[in-house]
Amino acid sequence: MVSPEIHRDRIWIDGCFDFAHHGHAGAMLQARQLGSSLYVGVHSDEEILENKGPVVMTLPERILAVEACKWATRAIPSAPYVTSPEVMDQYGCFYVVHGDDITTDADGEDCYRVVKDAGRFLVVRRTPNISTTDLVGRMLLCTKNHHIKTVRSEDVETALANAKIGKHVEGLITFEAIEKFRAYATAEDGKLPRDGVFIWTSSSPGNDAGILTTLVDPSPKFMQSHKRMIYVDGGFDLFFAGHIEFLRLVSQFAATVSDAEAEVGIVVGIHSDATVNKFKRLNYPIMSLFERALCVLQCKFVSHVVLQAPYCPTQAFLDVLPWDIVAVMHGPTRFDTEGEGGNPYADVKRAGLYKEIGEHLYKDISTETIVERVTRNRGVYEERQRRKGWKSDVESQLKRQEDANS
């Protein structure tokens, strides 16, 4: 067998990728920006169990999530936990990219020691305040302090003004949040702008009258070529395989109604933390609106996102959007109607816009079933959390030694 040519601009990255959270997406984004293509190695369930603890998402679910990231060229299943130059060579990758922390194997050894010694290791910034461990902790402890307060119409201009000058404020509209949205709204190269990020605000809950404000301007060229859109909405909490498969099927439908002159894209409305919590209660959503928006933005099937989208996508709301909405689509999952006067899609059904995506492979997975995976095996995941604490101490010590020697 002839080995493929090794390319210095063909980048390798590897990991567990348990949960499709924005920290994983951020690592892939930064890796993709360093080269012309990105190959993503995904560890097997068995190797993760041996070196880290049990996974929440299965390997097929994790592969699906990686393949849906717009910056990933190809997902490689069952990549070794300790990064192997030989495996990288099989895919023509010279450099491996990892965050500015250290990951260790079951023996407390640096997983990247071999490629570091070979001069084939590149460092990017690790995304703070988000990890699989954080999300599992939220499930086990039922915390809600990650929820973000809904932005009101009268507060948008002030929030944007503060964000523009970099003034430190709390909430969804901050300088740091908008910069992160802008980075995740890039095209497949991770550099050129493409997608738009908007926020919907109303003066009172359930009010059709509202304001659509642009947080990140979409590319004018992309807007010109995608004047027609399919609208979908939801909580998209934990952004799991069911969400991804639904968006893939919507994308397939969009291709059937596109033409040579204008493609049809997908705009995703994402409900506020308060809206999700109203219907799901407990500590849902597990991810904040900011975190959920970044998960949706990184998906290759998505064109634009609307934050704080209304629970009922009325015709009045759709008329405010800057596209011709050709359909409003929903998946096979049920939706809650208590206190909302019935079906939230009643208005668009009357307008003939509503379409349903049928059954699919991941239809039975929900945020609740994923949380149940964790709580059902609470003792095992609590041990994982304790083990992660031990590994963190070891990894911090290795990092200090590495910094001292550099």
Residue 373 in domain = no
Give the model's pLDDT for residue 126: 86
Q: Same domain, yes or no, for 339 and 386?
A: no
Residue 2 in domain = no
Alpha helices in 258-377 (DSSP H): 273-280, 289-297, 315-320, 346-350, 367-376
CATH number at residue 37: 3.40.50.620
Residue 330 in domain = yes
Q: Same domain, yes or no, for 188 and 120?
A: no
Q: Same domain, yes or no, for 171 and 319?
A: yes
Residue 15 in domain = yes
Q: Same domain, yes or no, for 167 and 29?
A: no
Residue found under tokens 């998209």 = 236
Residue 145 in domain = no
Q: Same domain, yes or no, for 177 and 298?
A: yes
Task: Write the burial class of residue 231 (CB in 10 Å: 0-12 exposed, 13-18 middle, 19+ buried).
Answer: buried
Residue 147 in domain = no
Residue 345 in domain = yes
Q: Same domain, yes or no, for 356 and 391?
A: no
Q: Same domain, yes or no, for 97 and 207?
A: no
Q: Same domain, yes or no, for 334 and 395?
A: no
Instruction: Give backbone dihedrals phi and psi of 364, rounded to 5 degrees, phi first.
Output: -90, 0
Residue pair 32/71 in contact (Cβ under 8 Å)? The answer is yes
3-class state of residue 314 by DSSP: coil
Q: How far apart are the first and last CA of the chain?
A: 39
Q: Same domain, yes or no, for 134 and 184?
A: no
Give the model's pLDDT for residue 103: 85
Give the model's pLDDT for residue 391: 43
Counting the structural domains of the chain, the total is 2
By DSSP bridging, strand 74-77 and strand 93-99 are unpaired
Residue 375 in domain = no
Give the model's pLDDT for residue 1: 47
Full domain range(s) for residue 189:
153-364
**Per-residue pLDDT in tens (0 to 9) along the chain, 406 residues:** 456 799 999 999 999 999 888 989 999 999 999 999 999 999 999 999 999 888 999 999 999 999 999 999 999 999 999 999 999 999 999 999 998 888 888 888 999 999 999 999 999 988 877 788 889 889 988 989 999 999 999 999 999 999 989 888 889 999 999 999 999 999 999 999 999 999 999 866 555 568 999 999 999 999 999 999 999 999 999 999 999 999 999 999 999 999 877 899 999 999 999 999 999 999 999 999 999 999 999 999 999 999 999 999 999 999 999 999 999 999 987 766 544 557 899 999 999 999 999 899 999 999 999 999 988 888 887 776 676 554 444 445 545 565 666 6
Q: Same domain, yes or no, for 196 and 341?
A: yes
Give the model's pLDDT for residue 211: 93
Instruction: Give backbone dihedrals phi and psi of 3, rounded to 5 degrees, phi first.
Output: -70, 145
Give the model's pLDDT for residue 338: 47
Q: Same domain, yes or no, for 127 and 186?
A: no
Instruction: Please tell me the number of Cα atoms within 13 Å of 37 on its side-chain side.
Output: 12
Classify 234 in phi/psi space as left (phi over 0), alpha (psi -120 to 50) or beta.
left
Q: Same domain, yes or no, for 186 and 306?
A: yes
